[in-house]
């Protein structure tokens, strides 16, 4: 396949997200401007100007009308997707690391980093349908985990919030009460910072990727470990195909391995694994730097990866991809 | 897209068929040949031949060659189609067509299947017993210059070709990590670390560690023994990945001992058996395992 290269960002990519229809791709990078592209040919539609710091995360509402972005400038902003105008700004005391709309787009979960005296926290904000009525107040604030919380997502039916972060423990919180319901097992869980988390299309299981060079598949309700996928590189980003039973891991390079790299460029790859057999199916090379973001188009026929090199690579799969057998 | 096929070719001057002369039959130039479509062939190339009158009233033939390539079945929802026509905003407003922000990669990237693990490992095992290799029927006696093994492979296909030629280059102790030595890459364009070299087994122990288990200590060496001598002495037993002779910096003389790392354990064992007690340059060598009793 011939990937489409999109070099709209000057700095490393941090996050990629497709909208529900799969025709728009939102990319966040450290260069302060999230960008939206058309997902079929990679043509740039527009950029959202307004943040003053690296944009770590974003999410788009189901109707693709609103975009929420979290940034290192300690704000989370709501945007009109079509016009690129800001609708609202939430202010926090520390950089925002992860945002996600709830099912129904009436709530959003936001995580903030530990900063000076503040510990890391998970905030839930109500999102008003009409942004002029938007208020700053939080529905719920959860404090507790040590270290940075890299990702927090909603569980099924918005009843729970799943968080994962630097302490390598995955936690499930009850949304109504804010209590901790479950924690992942220390022995079978990750050993190092969890960098990324992605849910399955039906929400029954999710995948977490960690710097301990592995990714693990968990059941959402019981938080039991289902599968483990191991690689040779620390995992920075994970994605699951909504169509086939494939899992994609994208990673970086251990600091200790820096001097041993191949002198040829373009060798950072996203690795595909069979979800059930845990075996590697193959790798897609091309990035010039560690891969920081991965996303699958909801139709499962294309995926995109964003790297430290500032490029977004959009891959439309060849027909033989769908016939791969181990 | 509307084509010229449906338009009625109106001649520049309105001619009525009754006014045409007999021999103006050929002059029916106001009629254009029909549009031809040479459908997509196996490469997806489609040619459309159209005939038109240009501004000066001349008949022109327009050939449009397009390559039809199915990227993806874009079954867009209604909203998606609407979104397609949104105006650009933000930094994209000033975008010119030649901005090259988005481009199709020139390389064809494939989903590379992982290599079967057997292929690398077998190369190692086969190299283990060079003497039996010699017996392989009728083959030309190939001698690899790098590792000295006979009958196994050509020099250019030596699996150990990236290793430093032990005699000249290696002065460091085997324990020192290899990232420093430039000598290793002396014969090549780039430095290739041991973990990445051809023939390196990356599953579990890396090559260096395995070699360290095949480390042989040689003591009671004469003063002027150097790496090259040890290499020459131990080479008949098999591929030697590293030699080291302890040298006193001040006098430049050997301190009487050294280490030889074989690639294969059996070679090391045979070397120990043969060379222990061997008279070499007026002293009797003592050759034994470097680490106590590796099994």
| Of B84, B88, B111, Cβ closest to residue A46 | B88
Q: Do A47 and B73 touch (CB under 8 A)?
A: no
Return d(Cα B294, Cα B262) in angstroms, integer: 14
Look at residue B53 and tell me if it is in a domain: yes
ipTM metric: 0.71
C-beta of residue A34 within 8 angstroms of C-beta of residue A53: no
The nearest CA of chain A is from the CA of B75 a distance in Å of: 10
Q: Does residue B189 fall inside a structural domain?
A: no
**Please, is A53 exposed, middle or buried when counting C-beta atoms within 10 Å of its C-beta (0-12, 13-18, 19+)?**
middle
Write out pLDDT tens, residues A72-86: 999 999 999 988 899
Cβ–Cβ gap A5/B103 under 8 Å: yes
How many beta-carbon contacts under 8 Å exist across A and B? 121
Interface contact flag, A45 B109, Cβ < 8 Å:
no
Interface mutation target, options B67, B80, B93, chain A, most CBs of A under 10 Å: B80
The CATH code belonging to domain A3-322 is 2.130.10.10
Nearest to B252 by CA among B282, B287, B223: B223
Measured between alpha carbons, how far is B259 from B171 in angstroms, rounded to an integer?
A: 11
In a domain, B21, yes or no: no
B21 in contact with A, Cβ within 8 Å? no
Domain final residue, candidates B17, B49, B67: B67
- Cα separations (Å) of B59 from A137, B5, B30, B31? 73, 15, 9, 10
Q: Which of B38, B67, B96 is the last residue of a domain?
A: B67
> What predicted TM-score, i.e. pTM, was given to this entire model?
0.61
Q: Which of B44, B76, B82, B92 to mutate to test the interface with A (most CBs of A within 10 A)?
A: B92
pLDDT tens per residue across all 295 residues of chain B: 544 444 445 445 566 677 655 555 555 666 777 888 887 777 677 888 888 887 887 888 888 877 666 655 556 778 888 888 888 888 777 766 556 677 877 777 777 777 665 444 333 333 334 444 444 444 455 566 666 655 556 666 666 655 544 443 333 434 333 333 333 444 446 776 776 666 655 554 455 555 667 888 999 988 888 888 888 888 888 888 888 888 888 888 888 888 888 888 888 888 888 888 888 888 898 898 887 655 5
Which among A2, A24, A281 is the nearest to B105, CB-wise? A2
Question: Is B295 part of the contact surface with chain A (CB cutoff 8 Å)?
Answer: no
- Count CB-CB contacts under 10 A for residue A123: 21
Instruction: Out of B42, B67, B92, pick the residue that ends a domain.
Output: B67
Q: Which helix (H) or strand (E) holds B60?
A: strand B59-67
Tokens at A72, concatenated: 């290192």
Are A108 and A102 in contact by the 8 Å Cβ rule? The answer is yes
Residues of A in contact with B93 (CB under 8 A): 46
Q: Is residue B123 part of a domain?
A: no
Is position B150 within any domain?
A: no
Domain that holds residue B49: 29-67
Domain count for chain B = 2
Give the domain CATH number at B254.
3.30.70.330
Three-state SS at B24: helix
Distance in angstroms (rounded) separating the CA atoms of residues A292 and A250: 7
- Which residues of chain B have a CB within 8 Å of the CB of A4? 102-105
Is residue B14 included in any domain, yes or no? no
Residue B103: inside a domain, yes or no?
no
């Amino acid at each position: 396949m011939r990937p489409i290269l999109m070099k709209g960002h000057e700095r490393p990519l941090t996050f990629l997200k497709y909208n529900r229809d799969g025709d728009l791709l939102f990319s966040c990078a450290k260069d302060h401007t999230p960008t939206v592209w058309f997902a079929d040919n990679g043509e740039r539609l527009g950029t959202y100007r307004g943040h003053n710091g690296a944009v770590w995360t974003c999410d788009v509402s189901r109707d693709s009308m609103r975009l929420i972005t979290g940034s290192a400038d300690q704000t989370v902003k709501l945007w009109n997707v079509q016009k690129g105008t800001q609708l609202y700004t939430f202010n926090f005391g520390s950089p925002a690391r992860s945002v996600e709309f709830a099912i129904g787009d009436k709530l959003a979960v936001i995580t903030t980093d530990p900063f000076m005296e503040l510990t890391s926290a998970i905030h839930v904000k109500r999102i008003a349908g009409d942004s002029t009525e938007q208020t700053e107040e939080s529905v719920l604030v959860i404090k507790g985990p040590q270290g940075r919380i890299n990702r927090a997502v909603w569980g099924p039916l918005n009843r729970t919030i799943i968080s994962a972060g630097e302490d390598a423990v995955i936690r499930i919180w009850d949304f109504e009460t804010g209590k901790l319901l479950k924690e992942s097992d220390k022995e079978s869980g990750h050993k190092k910072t969890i960098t990324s988390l992605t849910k399955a299309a039906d929400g029954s299981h999710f995948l977490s990727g960690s710097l301990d060079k592995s990714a693990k598949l968990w059941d959402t309700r019981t938080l039991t470990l289902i599968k483990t996928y191991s690689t040779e590189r620390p995992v920075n980003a994970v994605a699951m195909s909504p169509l086939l039973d494939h899992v994609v891991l994208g990673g970086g390079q251990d600091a200790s391995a820096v001097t041993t790299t191949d002198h040829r460029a373009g060798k950072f790859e996203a690795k595909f694994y069979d979800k059930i057999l845990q075996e590697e199916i193959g790798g897609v090379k091309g990035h010039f730097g560690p891969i920081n973001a991965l996303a699958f188009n909801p139709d499962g026929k294309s995926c995109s990866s964003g790297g430290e090199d500032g490029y977004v690579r959009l891959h439309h799969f060849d027909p033989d991809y769908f016939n791969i057998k181990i | 897209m509307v084509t010229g096929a449906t338009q009625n070719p109106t001649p520049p001057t309105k001619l009525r068929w009754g006014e045409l002369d007999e021999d103006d039959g050929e002059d029916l130039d106001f009629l254009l040949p029909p549009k031809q479509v040479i459908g997509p062939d196996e490469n997806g190339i489609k040619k459309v031949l159209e005939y038109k009158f240009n501004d000066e009233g001349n008949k022109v033939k327009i050939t449009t060659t397009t390559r039809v390539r199915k990227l993806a079945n874009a079954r867009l929802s209604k909203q998606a189609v609407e979104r397609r026509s949104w105006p650009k905003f933000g930094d994209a407003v000033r975008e010119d067509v030649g901005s090259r922000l988005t481009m199709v990669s020139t390389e064809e990237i494939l989903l590379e299947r992982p290599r079967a693990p057997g292929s690398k490992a077998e190369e190692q095992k086969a190299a283990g017993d060079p003497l039996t290799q010699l017996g392989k029927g009728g083959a030309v006696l190939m001698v690899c210059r790098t590792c000295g093994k006979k009958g196994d492979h050509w020099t250019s296909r030596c699996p150990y070709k990236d290793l430093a030629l032990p005699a000249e280059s290696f002065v460091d102790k085997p324990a020192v990590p290899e990232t420093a030595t430039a000598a290793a890459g002396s014969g090549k364009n780039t430095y290739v670390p041991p973990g990445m070299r051809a023939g390196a087994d990356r599953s579990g122990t890396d090559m260096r560690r395995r070699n360290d288990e095949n480390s042989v200590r040689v003591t009671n060496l004469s003063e002027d023994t150097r790496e090259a001598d040890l290499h020459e002495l131990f080479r008949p037993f098999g591929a030697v990945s590293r030699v080291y002779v302890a040298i006193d910096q001040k006098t430049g003389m050997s301190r009487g001992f050294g280490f030889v790392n074989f690639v294969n354990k059996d070679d090391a064992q045979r070397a120990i058996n043969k060379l222990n007690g061997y008279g070499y340059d007026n002293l009797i060598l003592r050759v034994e395992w470097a680490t106590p009793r590796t099994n």
